[in-house]
Structure 1
Amino acid sequence: MDDSSPLNELAPLIGRAKGLFLTEQTAQQAVSALAAAAKEAIPHALGAGVSLIKGNQPTSVGATDNFVLRADDLQYELGNGPCLSAWSEGRATYVEDTESDQHWPRWSSEAARTGVRSCFSVPLENGAHGIGAMKIYAAAPHAFTVQDQKVLAHLALSAAVLLGHIQASDTPQRISETAKETLRIRDVVAAARGIIMERHDLPEEEALSHLLNEAGNKGVTLHEHAQSVLRRDTRPDTLTAAP
């Protein structure tokens, strides 16, 4: 197979996704179809995701697997990560090995615990505006070749045009249930961080690291551990009785 073959094979994948857009006319259907197309186009990808992002929060998220959702959610909880950087900076990002990455150490450390060892993300740009990001994940470090990266970048160009059309047809004030849930998750994490700051007299960054470490040790997500911290803090036996 010559170097251009993978790019040529994207045509029917994009066509199939476009058919969904024309019949469903929803951003959620669009990102889900494109996530599946990305995973199918790149054999080294264990999973793929597509996010439409506004104000550092996702408005629509498509993912091929649950671990992709967990890896993405962690970025939105922390407020940083390779996908968010690809979107905000308008450039591709490649975490070759989450166990040694220093660009996004907190995200990479937690992603490694879930089995993600490498991640390649590309921005989705409609004209001069960044509208989101497309990313692929793998269980092995250094998983994605230069050709894999070219394939995803090529798919992202077509995806951005189609998603830009869908996004423009949505009501500007529309916030999807995914976005609302993400905001709720961030509120829970922020509340738990405040409890840890007060309980252990820690600054904000150290309190968040404390939560991340405890979540990792227990094998749960940051959100799940934050919920348990809030439940413990509000149990009747933890409250001081009024005199």
Structure 2
Amino acid sequence: MNAGSLEIAQALTDAARAIHQPRSLEATLDAIVEAARDTVPGFDHVGISVAHSNGEIETLAGTDQLVWELDTLQYQLGQGPCVDAIREFPIVPVEKAAEDPRWPDYMPAAARAGLRAQLGVRLFNEDETLGGLNLYSVHADTIAAGAVELAALFASHATIALGRARKEEHLNDALVTRKVIGQAIGIVCERYKITEDQAFHFLVRASSTSNIKLRGIAQEIVDSTNQEYERGADD
């Protein structure tokens, strides 16, 4: 194995280690984009975008301000390699950016900002599209041999990190929902002198008739009770 291969292997190992260390999602993604920038040949800046369920796309990590600027420009215009990698094609390479006609609003502005080549790689698992890995070059007009495959390896690490964060987020939401509903049941039991089962069915009926999710009904009961308590304490 030559020196270049050893450096790549070490960078991938470091990225994998970053995922399993007890650190925040932001710190993990920062480590991945920095490793990708230092390892994928021909690219100067790297960023990671996340796709939200409402259709919005947000940048969570970037190695340079240019990443945030070009990412944001693509989100605002609704076009560009970053957007296409998330919504249409899993890998979107761009060479000689100033001459590429595919994104007539984005590419001229990006070229004026110094962009010469770009690569968008989708982050996805078997269940959903999570976001994209975005690589930008301001020095090379072409994409080096092996760069796409190497970028895809870093994308797989980012996918693992984002997937884990999504699962933790869903778990936390479930725990919060359970806690709020439990509090609301206790309030309804006390207020109407009924059993927990009766209180739960009371909340379910209120949710059904108002077309508001059960958690929303429960949160409203808890919030209104807290407000009543605070007003009473002030008096």
Number of corresponding residues: 171
Task: Output the CA distance in 1 between the equivalents of 2:171 and 2:81.
Answer: 26
CA gap 1:32/1:150 in 2 versus in 1, 3 angstroms: same
Check whether the contact 1:38–1:155 (CA below 8 A) recurs between aligned residues: yes
Check whether the contact 2:133–2:155 (CA below 8 A) recurs between aligned residues: yes
Counterpart in the other structure of 1:50 = 48
Name the SS of the counterpart of 2:28 in structure 1: helix
Task: Output the CA distance in 2 between the equivalents of 1:2 and 1:147.
Answer: 16
Task: Output the CA distance in 2 between the equivalents of 1:3 and 1:90.
Answer: 30
Q: Deviations over 1:125-151 (max 9, x none)?
A: 121411000021111343321311111
Counterpart in the other structure of 2:34 = 36
Task: Output the CA distance in 2 between the equivalents of 1:106 and 1:141.
Answer: 22
Q: Does 1:133 align with 2:132?
A: yes
Name the SS of the counterpart of 1:143 in structure 2: coil
4+ residue runs over 4 A deviation: 2-7, 171-174
Task: Output the CA distance in 1 between the equivalents of 2:31 and 2:125.
Answer: 18
Check whether the contact 2:97–2:107 (CA below 8 A) recurs between aligned residues: yes
**What is the CA RMSD across the aligned residues, in angstroms?**
2.5
Counterpart in the other structure of 1:177 = none
Normalising to structure 2: TM-score of the pair? 0.65
AA at the equivalent of 2:79: N
Name the SS of the counterpart of 1:71 in structure 2: helix
Check whether the contact 2:42–2:140 (CA below 8 A) recurs between aligned residues: no
Task: Output the CA distance in 1 between the equivalents of 2:152 and 2:163.
Answer: 16
CA gap 1:169/1:112 in 2 versus in 1, 3 angstroms: same
Check whether the contact 2:41–2:144 (CA below 8 A) recurs between aligned residues: no
Q: Deviations over 1:60-98 (max 9, x none)?
A: 520000011111010011111101111112410011122
Task: Output the CA distance in 2 between the equivalents of 1:154 and 1:72.
Answer: 21
Check whether the contact 1:98–1:141 (CA below 8 A) recurs between aligned residues: no
1:110 deviates by 0.6
Between 63-72 and 3-12, the greater mean CA deviation after superposition: 3-12
Name the SS of the counterpart of 1:169 in structure 2: helix
Report sequence identity in percent. 25
Q: Does 1:107 align with 2:99?
A: no
Q: Does 1:9 align with 2:3?
A: no
Unmatched tracts of structure 2, length 5 or more: 174-235
Task: Output the CA distance in 2 between the equivalents of 1:70 and 1:169.
Answer: 29
1:24 deviates by 2.5
Q: Deviations over 1:159-194 (max 9, x none)?
A: 2122211122125999xxxxxxxxxxxxxxxxxxxx
Q: Deviations over 1:201-229 (max 9, x none)?
A: xxxxxxxxxxxxxxxxxxxxxxxxxxxxx
Unmatched tracts of structure 1, length 5 or more: 175-243
1:3 deviates by 8.4
Check whether the contact 1:56–1:84 (CA below 8 A) recurs between aligned residues: no
Q: Deviations over 1:10-42 (max 9, x none)?
A: 3322134224xx42243x333322211210112
| Mapping for residues 28-107 of structure 1, pairs under 5 Å | 28-54=26-52, 55-107=54-106
CA gap 1:139/1:60 in 2 versus in 1, 3 angstroms: closer
